[in-house]
Amino acid sequence: MSDYRLELRNVSKSFGEVQSLRNVNFQVGQNEVVGLLGDNGAGKSTLIKIITGYHRPDSGELFFNGEKVENLTVPKARALGVETVYQERALAEQQSLWRNIFIGRELRTRLGFLDVKKMREETNRLMLESMGFTSAAVSPDSIIGTFSGGEKQGVAIVRALYFEAELIILDEPTMGLALKETHKLLDFVRQIKKAGKSAIFIDHNVFHVYEVADRVVVLDRGSVAGEFMTKDITLNDLMHKMYLVAQTGSLEEPVEEMIGDEAE
């Protein structure tokens, strides 16, 4: 098996005058959580949309498990195991928890009828084993609209894992979440790792990214400015690097200006 679940080589993408991505090389290992950091407009969402088949790159190559994939489409990406967890959007608010888990992928009896009993049972098991919903207030029949933002995303992650997603993408999942919800969400991201799958985790908050990512990739105005294994860098150093990128567009420490005789 390839070392990489996903690899992008020299990917570029422009929208009219704006070059959103410039010769981007990006990899996600098997069972690796990659954090994607970068300022507004750095190209993070564009990168994700290329991986999910929503945008076609202008140039460059995509590989899944070492195999080159041409003309990636949204259904093709999904078939390759890419699942995106969107805030709010992914779930049917008026429907029950069990229906949301199995929406579009319903379990059926041998005769082809909906196997409601089985779907309720499976949901109950997932609730206890994966979602940490032990409260008596939550049941497979609970309506999703009553769940908090973090819980909803937890449901979406558990659903993706249940259906064997290989690469789960989270684009700013903590946005708008309260502190406690955020911790819960980060726990769900850790579950992706435990389940042996991979993830791309985008967040403006470097603390969140540092907590769950194995590796951090910093994008700056469409280019990869640098990448770090989180085990090899302290949070303080990472924050300093982010500061440098924001100030100078580079990870290099600025050279002290020469003074005195040597300056002409």
> Using CA atoms in the order 53, 54, 56, 60, what is the torsion angle rounded to 10 degrees?
-50
161 φ, ψ (degrees, to nearest 5): -65, -40
Residue range at the interface with ligand ATP (CB under 6 A); choices 36-44, 77-85, 238-246, 256-264: 36-44
Q: Which of 29, 41, 60, 132 binds ligand ATP (CB under 6 A)?
A: 41
Q: Cβ 245 to ligand ATP, closest distance in Å? A: 13
| Cα–Cα distance, 17 to 202 (Å, whole number) | 25
What is the H or E stretch that residue 245 is in? helix 235-248
Select 51 or 131, whichever has its Cβ closest to Mg ion: 51
Residue whose C-alpha is closest to residue 216's, from 34, 3, 9: 34
Select 37 or 97, whichever has its Cβ closest to Mg ion: 37
Among positions 22-81, residues that touch Mg ion (CB under 5 A) are: 44-45
Q: Cβ 14 to ligand ATP, closest distance in Å? A: 8
Count the Cβ atoms, other than its own, within 10 Å of residue 114. Answer: 13
The residue number whose beta carbon is nearest to Mg ion equals 45
Residue whose C-alpha is closest to residue 220's, from 28, 81, 41: 41
Verify binding: residue 45, ligand ATP, rule CB under 6 A.
yes
- Residues engaged in binding ligand ATP (CB under 6 A): 15, 18, 20, 38, 40-46
- Residues engaged in binding Mg ion (CB under 5 A): 44-45
